[in-house]
Amino acid sequence: MIDYSILVKSPLFNGISEEECMTLCSKIHYQVRKFEKDAIVVQGGEEVTNLFVVLSGSVRGEMIDYSGKTVKIEDIEAPRPLAAAFLFGKENKFPVTVTANKKSELLAIPVVEFLKLLQLNTRLLRNYLNNISTRAQFLSQKLHFLSFKTIKEKVAHFLLQQAGDRFHSFELKNTQQQLAELFGVTRPSLARVLGEMQSENLIKIEKKTVTLLDKEGLNSLLENG
């Protein structure tokens, strides 16, 4: 029924042997559901009562906006789990409608059964906790970024974070375009701010190398926020 060699490659079951995985699954109720191309797996807004793991094929998340148009969000290929972050919590509803890209098989484990699994296997529990925690931490960090009002503040925070306790000089690994997207601003605006910060002798940029000339000054940009 289940191809365990695929399942153990999923982030959730990572580090668990195929045998163990099989034993675990034998102890709970689950379903393997098959979907034809373009079949709807779950409707957005529906309550999340199952953990889904894509066993074969691929599905896509689509958000339906208020006017009825669909906007593609992301593809999920085997063996990734689906909406794992929405199994619990106050608003455990699917944020998106999920549709099969092609003929696909999905493992569906009811929440109560998944809870049993988590209590049976420490590695699985750790995997799941790490998964949603990492996600939360990512969101938290991204939010922290956006909490800075001006582009200057965002840049200052980014540079200080990148530099850390290391040297005052380091290599930029992103283009201005990529940084602009990270900050949620336009590329010329970012360039303008970088220029201003150079003429204020806060930083110096040569090709891809950034030098922090005045860490104190960069700090003070953040404090007065």
Residue 175 C-beta: closest distance to DNA, Å: 3
1 touches a second copy (CB under 8 A) = no
Site residues, DNA (CB under 7 A): 149-152, 172, 175-177, 184-189, 191-195, 205, 207-208
Residue number with CB closer to DNA (45 or 184): 184
Q: Which helix (H) or strand (E) element contains residue 135?
A: helix 122-146
How far is residue 161's CA from residue 100's CA, in Å, rounded to a whole number? Answer: 41
Short-list 144, 135, 145, 221, CA closest to 184: 145
| Strand-pair category, 58-64 with 70-77 | antiparallel
Question: Which partner in a second copy, DNA, none is near 224 (CB below 5 to 8 A by kind)?
Answer: none
Residue number with CB closer to a second copy (92 or 211): 92
How far is residue 7's CA from residue 18's CA, in Å, rounded to a whole number? Answer: 8
Q: Which helix (H) or strand (E) element contains residue 176?
A: helix 176-183
115 touches a second copy (CB under 8 A) = yes
47 touches a second copy (CB under 8 A) = no
215 touches a second copy (CB under 8 A) = yes
For residues 92 and 101, is the Cβ–Cβ distance under 8 A? no
Contacting positions for a second copy (CB under 8 A): 65-67, 69, 85-92, 95, 115, 118-120, 122, 125-126, 129-130, 132-137, 139-140, 142-143, 146-147, 160, 184, 215-216, 218-220, 222-223
